[in-house]
Structure 1
Amino acid sequence: MAQNLVLIAGATGQIGASVARHVMDRSGWDLVGLSRRVQQHVPCPMLAVDLLDAEDCRRKLGGMQGVTHVVYAARYDHAGGELESVDINLQMLSNLLTAVKDRPDLRHIHVVHGTKYYGHNAGPGPVPYRENAPRSPRPVFYYAQQDFLIQQQGGQAWDWSISRPHTFCDLVLDEPRSITLLVAIYASMLKELGLPLRFPGTQLAFKSRTQFTWLPMLARSIEWMITDRTCANQAFNVVNGDAERWSALWPAIADYFDMACGDPEPERLARFPESHSDIWCDMVSLHGLRPSELSTVAQWAYGDYVFSPEWDVVSSMDKAREHGLTESIDTRQMWRDSFDFYRSHKIIP
């Protein structure tokens, strides 16, 4: 019998699925994924639980034996550009935590947040972002969830931790919310049209530094946080560690596709499929690519979000390094590996 049993809330999402894949490769761990709907592609045993329903959580989780860890990577669905509900996201965590917090074997609860904690999406701020930075005045559900964890942990045998990644990337299929996939398709189409790889943001955005989180590294970092007691009751940034300006990264992407690097030409990527769907359909047929629709193969509005900041978005990894997390990722190699993956699976020519 495994020594640890981890519940992964949000196991059908990118982060939850990545953590599940990692845990399944580790000895001494059992896991159960939690999601409102059980989906076949998730690589772990699944339990359908509605985190918005306190009674459903209590009935299905309250009596579960042997739960030692919880990784919470769930969030309430919201349309792009909308503020995420503080109340609903807090209620989801509250319902799960209330159901399991008194289990005798429970040792740790981990919650995945992000750099919206620092207001990176609202405007420029002091960089690098550090975990003890003052909170943004904007309503952010991360604050309510962290305060709730602190409140509930008092007097308990378990502790908590929080990770704060940014623009995460992974080698997965059928996941449209991926900036590497979006750029791969965007570059492939511009090359097909004989155009340079223009940058779809502003000149200021082009000159700004940005960062990424490789999801397999995040999964390993989460295991570190939930098992190393020096991480107890703390938050940690988890990014690759080599923030670059788009103006430096973009030519390297153009080189991969054997294209000229164009200048910044701001465009609404959310509207890109409207005028390019027929071209993509022809490319799929011509190059024998996996059948897909341009409007759904990538989440184009997500590109607008990623390319919009006209200021540096950089997180400090000093705290994580001081506590023992030494891993870093070569971001340019991450992009190359991603493009190789899409080519090998016939997503792009």
Structure 2
Amino acid sequence: MTETKKLLLFGATGVIGRAVLAHFNTLDGWSVLSVGRTRPADISANEFISLDLQDRDACDAALGALTDITHVIYAAVYEKPGALIEGWRDPDQMTKNDQMLRNVMDPLQRSASPLEHVTLFQGSKAYGSHVEKQVPIPAKEAWPRHDHNNFYWLQEDYMRACQADAEWAFTILRPRIVFGGALGSNMNPISAIGVYAAIQRHKGEPLHYPGGLPRINQAVDTDLIAQACAWAATSPNSWNETFNIDNGDVFVWQNVWPTICEGLDMPMGENKPYFLENLLKDEADTWAKIVEAYGLRAPKEIGKVVGQSLGYTDWQMATGKDVAPNPVISSTIKIRQAGFHDCIDTEQMFRKWFGIYRRDGLLP
């Protein structure tokens, strides 16, 4: 009989965490204990710890008492309210994210849990994508650390120091632009585009492309990230290694826009640049009316649906820029050679997630 492994999942209500929870709940031999500020209705009380990761004493009490955790997936992140993009360079945000991880790992290491593996997340900002005009293509994990301040480095240095004399291992995943199913996430273009489309539908308008000039991008489906987490948890090839991860192809927003329109059952419009972030103040009442008119299961408060994802999507679409930003393309050869081969067509990903949002009554 296979011994059950127990996953402690941080950031369970976020865009990555939701997918990880759903995937691990389908796997034999695993149980999941989720951690977050507020328990969602679809997670039972005995499978959830309500916890503020910035509260060190609360973390000590709650996590230090655990005795059966074998795996940790840390998908929690602090993003500065109202200043998502600017926050990436903010020293206070870096300090908070560093301290949150310490508040988790310090009591876990002192506990009696038989810890085997920890998964941590970074992203393309590890290559300086937010501070450089051009990141060399393709970005590779073997490169020397890019010289800039980043909470990634604070967390990674702490993790490596903890692991040096421990029996557990860690894996760092660096996803490209993340797409998935989570309301209120700060970086989920699916919710942002979906709300924009619903408002356009309500106005009797086609789905105009709101972004800027064409730019080559890479996407990653959260379901693919969840599968990679399961692989990393038990694959020695992943241990104490860092991996880029994406869907396996590239995309240009303008080229996939017809597929997005199809997935939302909307006629395609023209290229009409518009800052989606303006929806927060200009169309908050419209969104509330849409929720009521269609009997949607989404919150009437638009901010609870999109978080800071509207501004994030503007940034990813290069809205308002006179020159398209240079592409950031990561190599995913390393993770494939290590044994993780799953992939998904990015257009299929868009069809899937917009179909799920509509099926679940989150969009018309």
State the TM-score bracket (shorter-chain normalisation).
Answer: 0.7 to 0.9
Deviation at 1:195, TM superposition (A): 4.5
- Deviations 1:72-100 (Å, cap 9, x if unpaired)? 11122422233242222111112221212
- Deviations 1:91-133 (Å, cap 9, x if unpaired)? 1112221212254621111112222212223332112222123
Deviation at 1:18, TM superposition (A): 2.1
Kindly tell me: are residues 289 and 36 of structure 1, through their superposed partners in 2, closer, same or farther at Cα, counting changes over 3 Å? closer
Q: Per the alignment, in what secondary structure is the counterpart of residue 87 of structure 2? A: coil
Alignment-mate amino acid for residue 85 of structure 2: G
Correspondence for 2:105: 97
Correspondence for 1:27: 28
Q: Per the alignment, in what secondary structure is the counterpart of residue 101 of structure 1? A: helix
Q: Supply the RMSD in Å over aligned alpha carbons.
A: 2.7
Kindly tell me: are residues 227 and 192 of structure 1, through their superposed partners in 2, closer, same or farther at Cα, counting changes over 3 Å? same
Q: Which moved more, 1:127-136 or 1:36-45?
A: 36-45
The answer to whether structure 1 residue 320 and structure 2 residue 338 are counterparts is no
Higher relative CO (CA 8 A, sep ≥ 6), structure 1 or 2?
A: 2
Q: Which moved more, 1:77-86 or 1:215-224?
A: 77-86
d(CA) in 1 for partners of 2:296, 2:53: 38
Deviation at 1:252, TM superposition (A): 3.0
Give aligned-pair identity as a percent: 30
TM-score, normalization: structure 1? 0.87
Q: How does 1:170-189 map to 2 (within 5 A)?
A: 170-172=180-182, 177-189=187-199
Q: Per the alignment, in what secondary structure is the counterpart of residue 25 of structure 1? A: coil
Kindly tell me: are residues 172 and 14 of structure 1, through their superposed partners in 2, closer, same or farther at Cα, counting changes over 3 Å? closer
Q: How does 1:114-153 map to 2 (within 5 A)?
A: 114-122=123-131, 123-153=133-163
Correspondence for 2:87: 83
TM-score, normalization: structure 2? 0.84
Kindly tell me: are residues 274 and 143 of structure 1, through their superposed partners in 2, closer, same or farther at Cα, counting changes over 3 Å? same
In 1, are the aligned partners of 2:117 and 2:168 still within 8 Å (CA)? yes
Alignment-mate amino acid for residue 25 of structure 1: T
Where does structure 1 lack aligned partners over 5 or more consecutive residues? Answer: none
In 2, are the aligned partners of 1:17 and 1:42 still within 8 Å (CA)? no
Correspondence for 1:169: 179
The answer to whether structure 1 residue 107 and structure 2 residue 116 are counterparts is yes
d(CA) in 2 for partners of 1:37, 1:282: 26
d(CA) in 1 for partners of 2:78, 2:200: 35
Where does structure 2 lack aligned partners over 5 or more consecutive residues? Answer: 319-323
Alignment-mate amino acid for residue 118 of structure 2: I
Correspondence for 2:277: 270
Kindly tell me: are residues 145 and 190 of structure 1, through their superposed partners in 2, closer, same or farther at Cα, counting changes over 3 Å? same
Moved over 6 A (4+): none
Kindly tell me: are residues 201 and 56 of structure 1, through their superposed partners in 2, closer, same or farther at Cα, counting changes over 3 Å? same
d(CA) in 2 for partners of 1:176, 1:81: 11
d(CA) in 2 for partners of 1:254, 1:281: 22
